[in-house]
A and B are shown apart, each in its own frame.
Chain A
Amino acid sequence: MAALLAGAEQAVLNLFLTIFVTAFLGAGVRRPFVFVLAYAYIDIVAPQKVTWGFLAHVPVSLIAFICAVLAWLVAEDKNGIRFSPRQFVLLILLIYCGLTTRTADFPEEALEKWGWVWKALVFAMFLPLTLRTRLRIEAMVLIMVLSVGVIVIGGGIKTLGGGGGYGELKLLVNDNQGLYEGSIISTVAVCVMPLALWLARFGTIFKPGWLVWLFAMGICLSCLLMPVGTQARTGLICIGVLGVLMLRSSKRRLTYIGVIAALSIVALPLLPQSFTDRMSTIGNHQSDQSASTRVAVWAWTIEFAKTHPFGGGFCAYLQNRVSYDKINSENAGDNNTAIQTERIEEKGRAYHSSYFEMLGEQGYPGLGLWLLLHIMGVIHMEVIRRRYAKNPPPELAWVTPLADALQQAQIVYLFGGAFVGIAFQPFCYMLVGLQCGLSAYIGRVKRSTPALFRAVRPVAVSRTGAAA
């Protein structure tokens, strides 16, 4: 009976998602930009993985990608678009990755990874060209948040119901890859929180109201529960980083600290023991095999880069062989602790860090380009958030908070990425594309309507009503 119900549930999901994806792509025929949104949705949710029918046998992601690019080439307005320095960095990174793939140590595996990496990089370059209006920027943020919501809402509910645990939380797709992997979704979920809050404050598709705030809070709670449900230590670090960044942006810092402290006091006793036990290993990696493996792989990567300064190509980690001592401590009674050292040997272990992923696979030039891309992003967002922080024209009041949210998401990603190999995670490149799109939009506004910045500001300062 249970199997029958599960089968019926899967069939309903299958039909629902097939209709949705078809309708989404169909809407692109009417408004070409919708193809861009459809591609972002498909890349994040991967509906072809959720279903077993039509979608599973059709390359929907590639179809959406081709439709988005072709529709832009044929039907979109290209007046005033410019290729920004960060898009050039992306282009160089794309070419460089292509070259390392040709000389990769594991050609077949490298080619397989290249198959999705090039799309993520090209889309990040392409996205800013399409984000010509404020509504498009908002729509992209909304689709990204809701798409991640598809994964995290269920994860959050299951965590609340006690279905969590390290490697045990059953998400929509149970393949432990991409955004459906525990540490990655924990990091991405925390990245999404500032964007969800921005939408609740400045959304125009769904205008701010109690229902919108309720949903945004629900998404944020689900995001916060992901590290608990997956017991990914990376997620806890990301939450801490976001907490500090939000304190920086908060206007009422004391109130913020008070609220966070009160929520922490309420939430801590409710956390499962297995979660607090696992989080306590953050400071003592030698007693935890997973953390010890990371440190050993990082040491191997540094040595590998000495002989392969240009990287070993995608999946170069497959050749690693690491060994380390794991320290086991057990209570031996009478206040004594028995300490045993166990020699662990492993091979072909993943990098567990975006920085070492770049170093091992793309060498020092690749790591340099990747760091340049993200450091430039943090700086650009800082410039924008400061420039329009005080007395912005009413039409641009949303700019500083969005730059702030995008910067927070990126810094969370950079911290989380230190412990997860997500250097080429497509979602993170969508964030980069959004940042470039925002910068380009601001540039266009400044070039085309400089009067907006000169004339409206005094009006806004004097509070004499809406600007003309």
Chain B
Amino acid sequence: MIDIFTVVVPHVLMAIAVWRLIHSDDLDRDPILPATESTFARARRGFRGGRGSANGGPAGGSGAGGA
């Protein structure tokens, strides 16, 4: 029973932490650093933008790159 407790408590906290992390913009962009973006992220955003355009949405991404 102690083993179950010692496993479950930290793991639940880790799960909550990871859940919060994957929903946080600060994980990849530090608020006090200029925003930069990887080629991969730019390409992915471009792809999403392209899809949005095909559906009648705004084409292309906003200027999130280099400040």
Contact = CB atoms under 8 A, between A and B. Distances in A.
Interface of A: 9, 12-13, 16-17, 20, 23-24, 27, 30-31, 33-34, 37, 41, 50, 74-80, 132-136, 139, 142-143, 146-147, 149-151, 153-155, 157-158, 161, 172, 204-206, 215, 395-396, 441, 444-445, 448-449, 452
Contacts of A41: 14
Nearest to A150: B10
Contacts of B29: 133
A9 B4 contact: yes
A142 B11 CA distance: 12
The B interface, classified by DSSP as helix, strand, loop or mixed, is helix
Nearest to B11: A20
Interface in B28-53: 28-34, 36-38, 40-41
B38 A75 contact: yes
Contacts of B36: 77, 79-80
B43 to A, nearest CB: 10
A205 B2 contact: no
B24 interface: yes
In the complex, the 5 A-B pairs of residues with the closest C-beta atoms, listed nearest first: A154-B6, A133-B30, A77-B38, A79-B36, A75-B40
Interface in B7-38: 7-11, 13-22, 24, 26-34, 36-38
Nearest to A78: B38
B26 to A, nearest CB: 4
Given A77-B37, A154-B5, 8 more contacts: A27-B19, A146-B17, A147-B10, A153-B9, A154-B6, A172-B6, A441-B30, A449-B34
A206 B18 CA distance: 11
26 contacts: A9-B1, A20-B14, A20-B15, A27-B19, A31-B22, A34-B18, A37-B18, A41-B14, A76-B40, A77-B38, A78-B38, A132-B28, A135-B26, A139-B21, A142-B14, A146-B10, A149-B6, A149-B9, A149-B10, A150-B7, A150-B10, A172-B6, A215-B13, A445-B32, A445-B33, A448-B34
Contacts of B6: 149-151, 153-155, 157, 172
Contacts of B3: 9, 13, 154, 172
Interface of B: 1-11, 13-22, 24, 26-34, 36-38, 40-41
A133 B26 contact: yes
